[in-house]
Structures are given as C-alpha cells and as structure tokens.
Amino acid sequence: MNIRSLYLLSLLTLTLCLSCGTNSRDVATEGAKTVENIVHIQKMITPQNATPEAIDLFVHNDPKGSLFFAQQVLRVGAVKSPEFTSLCQQFLSDSVVMKAYNVVDSLFQDGYDDKISDAFLYFNHYFPNKPLPEIYTLVSGFNENLLYNPIQIGVSLEKYLGENSKYYTMLGIPKYKQAMMKPSRIPLDVVDVWLRMQYPLSIKKRKLIDHIIYEGKILYVLSYLFPKQEINYPIGYTTQQWEWCLNSEVGMWHYLVDQKLLFKSDPLLIRKMIGPSPFTNFFTTKSPGQCGRWIGYKIIQSYMQNHRDKTLEELMWQTNASKVLNASNYAPK
C-alpha cells in the first residue's frame, strides 16, 4: 500500500471516529420544551417599507421585539419617540444596510428556525430548570454576530453569509474568522452564548486551567445539544485540524505542563491559547487556533468517562478546575 493510500485510509478512519458516538449522544426529547417563536425582524421592517406608519405598526405588533431592536441595534432606550422613527429610517436607508438586506433576503428563506428549536429541545432536556430565550433574527449593519441581554438573543444574519462572502473580504475580516461566518453556525452560536449566560465563568477565575476546563465543558455540552452533528462541529475544526490535534495531543499537553503554563494568569497567554486565531501561537503554524479549547474538551471527555453518573447539569456546576483536572485522570500518551 502506497503512502497516499495509507493517508486516505487514516483520513477515512478519522472521519468514522468523528461520526462514531453520534447515536450514543442522541436521546429522546419527548416532553422537553423549546423556544416558542423566532421573530424575524428583518421581515417586519425593511428598506422598502420604512415609512413612519410601517415603523409604528412594528412597534404596535411586537413591543418586545421593537424595543430589542431599538436598544441593541439603534442604541436608543425608547420606541415611542420621534427619535426612534427617525433613526429607524436613517438605518434602513443606509447603503450598506440595504445591500445586507438584499443578500440576507435571498439567502435565508427559513431563518434556520427548526435547527435552533431542535437544539433548545436538547438544552431543555438536559437543563430543565434553566429558562429559554426569546430569539430574533435581524440585520444590524454588520454589527456583532449575536446581540443579547439576559432574556433575548438577536442573530445578525448578515454576519452568517458564508465564508466566501465578498463583503467579509471588503470589510477586512481575516479568513480564519470568515470560516465561522456561515449559516450552519447559527444554531450553535445561539445555544453557545445562551449556555455561557446560564453558566458564566467567574471573573475570579484567571488562570489558564480555569479557561481550559470551562471551554472544555462548553464544547462537551454542545456536543450533546447537537448529537446528530460530528464531534468536531462545536469547535468548528475541519477533519484535518482535528486530526492534527489528535496526533499532537501528547506534545501539546507536555508543553503546557513542562512550561508550567496551566496555572499562569497572563491574559495574553490565555487569549493566545483559547481565543480565535489562524493557529495556536505556542505550537506550530500548522496547528489550528484555540487548541486550548480542544485540550479542555479532551480533559472533560476523560472526566465524564470516569464519572458516568454525572449529568451535564452537574458538570456545569463543577467550577473547581483543579479538582476536575485531577479527577479526570487525563494523561495522554
């Protein structure tokens, strides 16, 4: 067997491994609740329908949605004011916003409602005592991907046009970030931010190990909230990137331990290990970004394998990173 054949065989094996366990992560969700309604603000007010009458109708028909739009997009506090109507019209007549509306209208016909609803069915199944958010889709003028407060999440659809969108290149967005700006990431990003809001990382947790364990828990839980997806879906790695981490797991872990980095609290260190980037600075340029998150996932995977009685809810409440690490018996060889 030649080298190319061996490579293709190993790649096929890895793909099967990424897919394996999918059925074991799936559970019945009968009786679980989900988000009641996803409101599409971009269909309620548009550049083609930006009259004072249409804006007043929007406020009348959806008081909560219009207030969310006012506060999160226009950054005004009230909707029943001339300022809101005027700012709405200015926003909708902006040339960039108008282009964004056009491409969003052609790309998003269903708004990914079903996929978001399915994910929250699993969320409610595993976290029945946690609230469910009100969800809106909208155009924010290339603002943040997600706009949110303690009870609501807004999805800026123009931030999910696909990694080859010409607008992202024009805006100077790096390629590694563009790779995450595609429609298939919407359900995951929405549930991810809601999970973090329910279980925030304490501001007192400043060491790298705290962030590694926290991110590992997030990725592990997300793998169960999207059980029909491959295991690399939550972190957004390609098959090749996941394979690189598997092949480099021992070396990465030994580097963190030998260099005594796990208990350092340098914000730059944490950002380079956890944050989005074209590669993880401490390793080779062939590495994917966020290797610290991947290592965290592997630690949590080992922890849960050694504590099969633990629920996902109990996992998220376990906030002592050092105890989790020790109890995981994580020791890649």
Long-range contacts: 243-246, Cβ < 8 Å, 24+? 243/10, 243/11, 243/14, 244/286, 244/287, 244/288, 245/287, 245/288, 245/291, 245/294, 246/14
**Domain end call among 148, 166, 198:** 198
Is 13's pLDDT higher than 50? no
Comparing 274 with 7, the larger pLDDT belongs to 274
Claim to verify: residue 194 and residue 215 sit in the same structural domain: no
Q: Would you call 148 helix, strand, or coil by DSSP?
A: strand
Tokens of 318: 């376990």
Comparing 164 with 222, the larger pLDDT belongs to 222
| Residue 186 CB partners (closer than 8 Å, separation 6+) | 112, 115, 116, 155, 160
Q: Measuring CA to CA, which residue among 292, 315, 294 is closest to residue 303?
A: 315
Query: pLDDT tens across 145-161, in order?
Result: 999 999 999 999 999 99
Claim to verify: residue 119 and residue 250 sit in the same structural domain: no
Task: Band the pLDDT of 5: cuts 50, 70, 90.
Answer: very low
Asked if residue 25 belongs to a domain, the reply is: no
Asked if residue 244 belongs to a domain, the reply is: yes
Q: Measuring CA to CA, which residue among 83, 84, 50 is closest to residue 67?
A: 84
Is 15's pLDDT higher than 60? no
| CA–CA–CA angle 295, 296, 300 (5° rounding) | 120
pLDDT of residue 10: 47
Using CA atoms of 160, 166, 168, 171 in order, give the dihedral in degrees to the nearest 10.
-150
**Strand-pair category, 38-40 with 152-156:** unpaired
Enter the pTM of the model. 0.91
What is the spatial distance between Cα 159 and Cα 100, in angstroms, rounded to a whole number?
9
Half-sphere exposure of 49 (CA within 13 A, CB side): 12
Asked if residue 10 belongs to a domain, the reply is: no
Is 296's pLDDT higher than 50? yes
pLDDT of residue 180: 95
pLDDT of residue 30: 87
Per-residue pLDDT, averaged over 110-135, amounts to: 92
Asked if residue 17 belongs to a domain, the reply is: no
pLDDT of residue 110: 65
Comparing 226 with 20, the larger pLDDT belongs to 226
Per-residue pLDDT, averaged over 93-115, amounts to: 88
pLDDT of residue 78: 82
Claim to verify: residue 166 and residue 288 sit in the same structural domain: no
Integer-rounded Cα radius of gyration of the chain: 22
Using CA atoms of 272, 277, 281, 284 in order, give the dihedral in degrees to the nearest 10.
150
What is the spatial distance between Cα 310 and Cα 316, in angstroms, rounded to a whole number?
10
Asked if residue 43 belongs to a domain, the reply is: yes
Query: pLDDT tens across 33-58, in order?
Result: 999 889 999 999 999 989 999 999 99
| CA–CA–CA angle 31, 124, 226 (5° rounding) | 105
The total domain count for the chain is 2
**Domain end call among 173, 198, 223:** 198
Comparing 230 with 106, the larger pLDDT belongs to 230
Is the distance from CB of 134 to CB of 148 less than 8 angstroms? no
Block residue for tokens 């946690």: 130
Say which amino acid occupies 291: C
DSSP 8-class letter at 199:
S
Above pLDDT 90, what percent of the chain?
81
Q: Would you call 118 helix, strand, or coil by DSSP?
A: helix
pLDDT of residue 165: 92
Domain range for 323: 208-328
Block residue for tokens 């595993």: 126
Per-residue pLDDT, averaged over 318-324, amounts to: 95
Asked if residue 136 belongs to a domain, the reply is: yes
| CA–CA–CA angle 7, 8, 13 (5° rounding) | 100
Query: pLDDT tens across 168-221, in order?
Result: 999 999 999 999 999 999 999 999 999 999 999 988 878 999 999 999 999 999
Query: pLDDT tens across 60-76, in order?
Result: 999 999 999 999 999 98
The helix or strand, by DSSP H or E, that contains position 129, with its residue range, turns out to be none
Claim to verify: residue 259 and residue 315 sit in the same structural domain: yes
Cβ count within 10 A of residue 296: 28
